[in-house]
């Protein structure tokens, strides 16, 4: 069984955030287009937050430290 590496997990979330940014818009219009855009924004935010976290794994407990303070 492979060991869990929290840094690899965080890297995958960074990759997912980048992929969402590059995701092309499907050929939809109107309300469906707005729903797609809203979902993409939500996906990016969620993936980016995890991608910016610092992970620790102690006694089998994964802790993600996420600084939500505005960047200066």
pLDDT (tens place) for every residue of the chain, 72 residues total: 578 899 999 999 999 999 999 988 888 888 988 999 999 999 999 999 999 999 999 998 999 999 988 887
Residues comprising the chain, all counted: 72
Q: Model confidence over 38-53: pLDDT tens digits?
A: 999 999 999 999 999 9
Measure the CA–CA gap between 40 and 37, rounded to whole angstroms. Answer: 5
Note the pLDDT of residue 1. Answer: 53
pTM of the model: 0.81
10 to 2, 26, 28, 55: CA distances (angstroms): 17, 28, 32, 8
Closest by CA position to 15, among listed 26, 23, 4: 23
pLDDT at 26: 81
What per-residue confidence (pLDDT) applies to 44?
Answer: 95
């Amino acid at each position: 069984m492979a060991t869990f590496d929290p840094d690899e997990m965080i890297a995958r979330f960074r990759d997912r955030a980048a992929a969402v940014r590059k995701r092309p818009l499907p050929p939809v219009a109107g309300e469906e287009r707005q729903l797609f855009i809203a979902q993409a924004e939500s996906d990016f935010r969620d993936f980016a937050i995890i991608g910016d976290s610092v992970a620790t794994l102690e006694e089998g407990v994964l802790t993600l430290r996420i600084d939500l303070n505005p960047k200066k």
